[in-house]
Structure 1
Amino acid sequence: MTHQGRQQQVVVTRPAGQQQRLMALLAEAGYQPVHQPALEIEPVPVDGAMQRTLMELDRYHAVFFASVNAARLALSAMADLWPQWPVGVHWLAVGRATAAELASWHLPATVPEQGFNSEAVLALPCLQQLREKQVLICRGDSGRELLAQSLEARGARVDALAFYRRHGASHITISAQADWVMVTSVQGWQALQPVLPAGCGVVAAGARVAAAVQASHAGPVRVAASAHDDDMLAALIAGGRDH
C-alpha cells in the first residue's frame, strides 16, 4: 500500500516475540512494518499458593488462557507438577495464537471461531451450564473481569492466577514517517499516546481500545474486530470504519 508515492509505514506494538506473523502479513500486503513494543512482559514467580492451585487442576471444569504469554508461562508451571495432563478438563484459548501455544504442549484447545474476546469465549458451549463447577483463568496482572463476573453469574466458582505483569516499554520511539500504529490494549495505548505523531492513524483492537484512543487522539482510528493478526490487518486494509 502506498501513500503519496511511498509504502505506508505501519508500527506494530506487540511485545517482543509476538510480532512476527503480523509483520509478515503487513509486508505481504505491501506495507512497511516497523516493530516498536508498547509493553514489556515481566513473568511473575510461581509461589506456593499458585502451586497449590495448579496441583489441583483436575478439579476444574475448564482452564482458560487469556493470552499467549499466559499460556506459555502457566503451562510451563503446570508441566512441572503434572507429568501427564489431567483428563476431563476443557482447555480454553482466547484466540488461535494462544491455541497454537496449547497445541505445542500437546493440549487440545477449544477456541472461539471468531471474536477472540471475552464475549466470544462466554458463548462456548462448555461454559453454558456451570452451576457447582470450577473455572481457572490464567492471565496477566489485570483484565478479564467481565469473563470472571459472567462465569460467576452462571454459578461457577472462578479462580484467577496472574503469571506476568505488563508495564510500558522504556524508550518508545514512533517515527514522524509512521502512517499507522496498531494498538491492541488500553495499557499499550497509554504508553504510546505521549509519543504518537498528531496525524498518525491508529488501528485499535476492538471498541474498548478504540474508545480510549479517541478520548486523547485526534487522528483517524480504525476499529478491528479483535486483536487477532488477521482482524488487525483487515481493519487497516478496509479503511471503512475511520472514526
Structure 2
Amino acid sequence: MAPTVTAVLTRPQGRNEALEQALLQRGIPSLILPALQLEAIDFFDEFHHHPANYDLIVFVSSTAVSCYLEALRLRSITWPEGLCAASVGAASASALYRYPGLSPGLIIHPDESDPDQDSEALWKQLELRKMKFRRVLIVRGQQGREWLSSRFADENASVERVTVYQRVPAFWTDQQSIALQHALSGDSCVFLLTSSESVCAMMQNIVRLGMEKSWAKLRFVAIHERIAERLQSELLALGLPQATMLFRSSPGIDSMCNAIVDAARAN
C-alpha cells in the first residue's frame, strides 16, 4: 500500500492554489495552511514614491509588485518611458510583464532556471548587463535585507526604500489545527517553507498547539538556503532534533512540486 503523504502549503492566502493542483496531478493531496497574512499599507507619497523620480525600481516579492502597481493604477500614474523594473525572482516579474506601458526589455530578473531567486541572483543580472543606476527605489515588506541597498550604495546610487505591506503571523484556527492533526496521523507530511518569517510563524503555531513531538516524521522543502538554516536554528532553540529530510527548490511551481514529490518519496 502506498504511503499516505500530505503536502502542507504555508504560503499566504491565494498563493497556494496552482501548486495544490500540480501536486494533485502527481497524486499528493495538500493542506493549505498559511503561516503569514499579508496586509497592504497605505504608503504612497508623491514626492518619495512617484516612479518618475527614479531610473530603477526593485521589487522584492510578487506582493511588493502588486501593491506598488495598484497604487499607481489608483492614481492614474503611467509607467515612465525608459524606467527599468527589477525583481529578485522570475515569478515576481510576471505581473510586470502585464503592466501597460512597461516594455519587456526594461524588466530585469534572474532566469527562471536559476535555483537562487534572490537579491544576489538579481545583482548578477545587473552586473552581466553592466547596468548602472543613479536613483533606485526598493519596494518591499516591513522587514527586509539591506544587501541590495548596500550594493547600490557602493555604486554611488541614491537609494530609497518603501514598505508597501506587512507580514502578520497567522493564528491557526481550531478547524485548521484539526485538519493538521488529521494530516499528521498519516505516514508523513511535507511542509513547504517559503520565507524565514513563515518558518517562525509556523513554529509558533506548532508549539501553541503542542504538536512538537510530531516533527520527528516531518519532511521539509525550503526555497532558499537561508530559509533552511532558519528552520534548523528554530528547531535547535526549541530543543528539537534537526531536520534530516530537508529538500531545496526554487520558487517556481514546477520546482516546488518536484521537490515536494521527491520529499514524499524519500526513504
TM-score by length of 1: 0.86
Quote the Cα distance in structure 2 between the aligned partners of 1:146 and 1:221. Answer: 30
Of the candidates 9, 13, 16, which is equivalent to residue 16 of structure 1? 13
Quote the Cα distance in structure 2 between the aligned partners of 1:205 and 1:124. Answer: 20
Percent identity between matched residues is: 25
Aligned: 1:191 with 2:162: no
Shift of 1:235: 2.7
Aligned: 1:84 with 2:78: yes
Which residue in 1 is equivalent to 2:109?
A: 111
Quote the Cα distance in structure 2 between the aligned partners of 1:222 and 1:12. Answer: 15
Quote the Cα distance in structure 2 between the aligned partners of 1:145 and 1:210. Answer: 20
Q: Is the 8 A contact 1:38 1:191 kept in 2?
A: yes
Task: Point out the structure with max Rg over C-alpha.
Answer: 2
Per the alignment, in what secondary structure is the counterpart of residue 74 of structure 1?
helix
Which blocks of at least 5 consecutive residues in structure 2 are unaligned?
A: none
Quote the Cα distance in structure 1 between the aligned partners of 2:262 and 2:59. Answer: 30
Which residue in 1 is equivalent to 2:222?
A: 204
Count residues with an aligned counterpart.
Answer: 234
Q: Is the 8 A contact 1:134 1:157 kept in 2?
A: yes
Which blocks of at least 5 consecutive residues in structure 1 are unaligned?
A: none
Q: Do the aligned partners of residues 226 and 85 (structure 1) sit closer, same or farther apart at CA in structure 2, a change above 3 Å counting?
A: same
Shift of 1:225: 4.0
List aligned pairs for 1:32-47, cutoff 5 A: 32-47=29-44
Q: Which has the higher helix share?
A: 2
Aligned: 1:232 with 2:246: no
Aligned: 1:64 with 2:48: no
Q: Do the aligned partners of residues 238 and 6 (structure 1) sit closer, same or farther apart at CA in structure 2, a change above 3 Å counting?
A: closer
Which residue in 2 is equivalent to 1:94?
A: 88
Q: Which runs of 4+ in 1 moved over 6 A?
A: none
Per the alignment, in what secondary structure is the counterpart of residue 132 of structure 2?
coil
Q: Is the 8 A contact 1:13 1:37 kept in 2?
A: yes
Per the alignment, in what secondary structure is the counterpart of residue 81 of structure 2?
coil
TM-score by length of 2: 0.79
RMSD: 2.4
Deviations 1:138-159 (A, max 9, x none): 1111113211112212222211
Quote the Cα distance in structure 2 between the aligned partners of 1:128 and 1:38. Answer: 39
> Which has the bigger relative contact order, CA under 8 A and spacing at least 6?
2
Q: More displaced, 185-194 or 118-127?
A: 118-127
